Homo-oligomer: A and B are copies of this chain.
Amino acid sequence: MNNEANHTLNSDLIMRLTRYRRVLHKLKSLGFVKVFSNNLGDAIGVTPSLVRKDLSVINMQGNKRGGYQISDLIAALETVLGSNEPKKTVLVGCGRIGIAILEYMDDTQEGIEVLAGFDIHADSINNPTAIPIYDTSEMTRFIREQEVKIGIIAVPDPAAEDVKDQLLEAGIEGILNFAPVELKCSRNCIIHNINISLEIENLFYLVRMADVTEGCLDCGGNE
Contacts and interface: CB of A to CB of B under 8 A. Distances in A.
Interface of A: 7-9, 11, 14-15, 18-19, 44-45, 80-82, 85, 87, 89, 96-97, 99-101, 103-105, 108-112, 147, 149-150, 152, 171, 173-176, 180, 182, 184, 188, 190, 192, 194, 196-211, 213-214, 217, 219, 221-222
Please tell me how many copies of the chain the complex holds.
2
Contacts of A188: 210, 214, 217
A147 B7 contact: no
Nearest to A209: B8
Contacts of A149: 204, 207
A143 to B, nearest CB: 11
A202 B192 contact: yes
Given A110-B201, A112-B204, A150-B207, 9 more contacts: A8-B210, A11-B206, A82-B204, A100-B100, A105-B196, A173-B207, A175-B203, A176-B199, A194-B199
Contacts of A45: 182, 184
